[in-house]
Amino acid sequence: MDIKSYIDSGILELYVAGSLSEKENGEVYALMQQYPEVTKEVMDIEASIIKLTASAAPKDIKNVIYEAIQDKLDSSNDDGQSKVIPINKQKNNWFAYTGWAASIILGGTLIWMSNQNNALESQVNTAEIDKEFLEIQIENINSDLADTKKILNVFRDKDIITVPLAGQAVYPEAYAKAYWNKQDKTVFFDLQGLPEPPEGKVYQVWSLALNPLTPTSLGTIDDFKTDANKIFSLENTNESQAFGITLEPTGGSESPTLEQLYTLGAIDAS
Amino acid sequence: MVQLDTLIAKFKQKDERAFKTLYDMYSESMHGVIFNIVRNNDIAEELMQDVFIKAWHKSDSYDAKKGRFFTWILNIARNTAIDKTRSKSFKNSAKNLDAQFFVDIIPTHESLDKKTDAIGISKFVGNLPQKCKEVIELLYFKGYTQKEAAEKMEIPIGTIKTRNRNCINNLRQIVLE
């Protein structure tokens, strides 16, 4: 640091005047500790300002004024020691203690209330999550109920043709039922009695004409595992004489793999 | 300046002798500053008492890191006097002080003989350029910050610093050598 140009900048004159910021004051103070020439400069400036300002004093009565100051200081001390200050002190202390106590209680209360508030908020959150969960359940149940009613209506419909499908060689215990509504060309398959298809396989439903044997695919059952009641509706525009269900690779096949024929049922012509 | 530091330390411990010594060092200077602001002997004397009693009670608040002791008490004096000029009772009896500088009062003293260098100072201020009178008035007697002084005098803030330095250099040659 170039101390000479620092001194020449005029900052020390402002320092003595009290015109600098607190930060600048700190900087000057630090440099004074480090460089004796800065301290000397500050003291010279100060001395000259003291003389200049003193010359503006009206007359030399500083001793008279000092006596007045001393009287006031003494009297405030005397009064204080005899009675006023002890009372004041007690009062001050009492106020101080009360103040501290009040603020501690207030502080404690605030913390407690904040904790209570947090606890309540978290309870409200939990309750809301529970509520949402219940609403979803109700919705699911309502939707299941609607499905069930729809199925029930299907079964009660007088136009419906019921076709039992019996288990075949590959899985004799299997069974299924078809409910065919010729009017609106839909057929419902109840596949409750079929085993879950292995990975990579799906059931494919066929409409069959018997003479000659002509299979027509009605589609594959892709959501067998996830469907709860195992009743599936498919469109059927054919003049079907029988329905068959085979196990096919995912995506279905062009024609049925007869070795994997699970169930088969002919439609009662009458 | 270990001596001054010791004195101030004792003063902060409410040592009355240290207080008296500091009073002797700075009281005339403060009297000059206060009188220049209020321009009334009785009010200046009353304020002198207020200033040093305040200093006594607030001695704890002085921190050498924040500035010179002289500057600390100078601030108390200027603020006390300026507060007084804003009071209702003062305004009722007030003359227009705005146009007057400290330089106006120095040569009019009846007691120029009180200090040998007082004559030197009155010569000095008599010969001061107007710019110096103004900048010294604002910075030392009125407690303006550098920025406030620059605005008041309508000059760049950097100019305040260099101009003031030149003015104070002249003063130092007269009073210190």
Q: Which domains does chain B have, with CATH numbers?
A: 2-93 (1.10.1740.10), 108-176 (1.10.10.10)
CB B139 within 8 Å of CB B69: no
Q: Rounded to whole angstroms, how far apart are CA atoms A223 and A203? A: 10
3-state secondary structure B115-148: CHHHHHHHHHHHHCCHHHHHHHHHHHHCCCCHHH
Q: Can you tell me whether residue B67 is helix, strand or coil?
A: coil
Q: Which domains, from first to last, does chain A contain?
A: 3-57 (no CATH), 159-266 (2.60.40)
CB nearest A69 (choices: B52, B70, B117): B52
Structure tokens at A224: 């067998």
> Are the Cβ atoms of B168 and A48 closer than 8 angstroms?
yes
* pLDDT (tens place) for every residue of chain A, 270 residues total: 789 999 999 999 999 999 999 999 999 999 999 999 999 999 999 999 998 898 888 877 888 889 889 888 887 665 444 434 444 445 567 778 888 889 999 999 999 999 999 999 988 888 888 888 888 888 888 888 888 888 788 778 878 888 999 999 888 999 999 999 888 888 999 999 999 999 899 999 999 998 888 999 999 999 898 887 888 989 998 889 999 999 999 989 999 998 999 999 998 765
Q: Is B12 in a helix, a strand, or coil?
A: helix
What are the chain A neighbours of B70 within 8 Å (beta carbons)? 16, 46, 49-50
Residue B12 above 90 pLDDT? yes
Give pLDDT, residue A73: 83
Instruction: Note whether A56 contacts B44, CB cutoff 8 Å.
Output: no
Point out the residue among A45, A52, A56 whose CB comes nearest to the CB of B105.
A56
Q: Is B104 exposed, middle or buried (0-12, 13-18, 19+ CB in 10 A)?
A: middle
The verdict on a CB contact (< 8 Å) between A10 and B164 is yes
Top-confidence residue, B109 or B169: B169
This complex has an ipTM of: 0.89
Mean pLDDT of chain B: 84
Amino acid at B27: S
Question: Is the preceding peptide bond at A212 cis, omega within 30 degrees of 0?
Answer: yes
Residue pointed to by tokens 């596949």: A191
Residue type, A214: T
B15, B31, B122: best to mutate for the A interface, most A CBs within 10 A: B31
Q: Which of B35, B70, B71 sits opposite A57 (nearest CB)?
A: B35
CA A216 to CA A205: how far, in whole Å? 9
B40-99 confidence digits (pLDDT tens): 889 999 999 999 999 999 999 999 999 999 999 999 999 999 999 888 777 776 555 555
State the pLDDT at residue A113: 93
The distance of A33 to chain B (nearest Cα, Å) reads 10
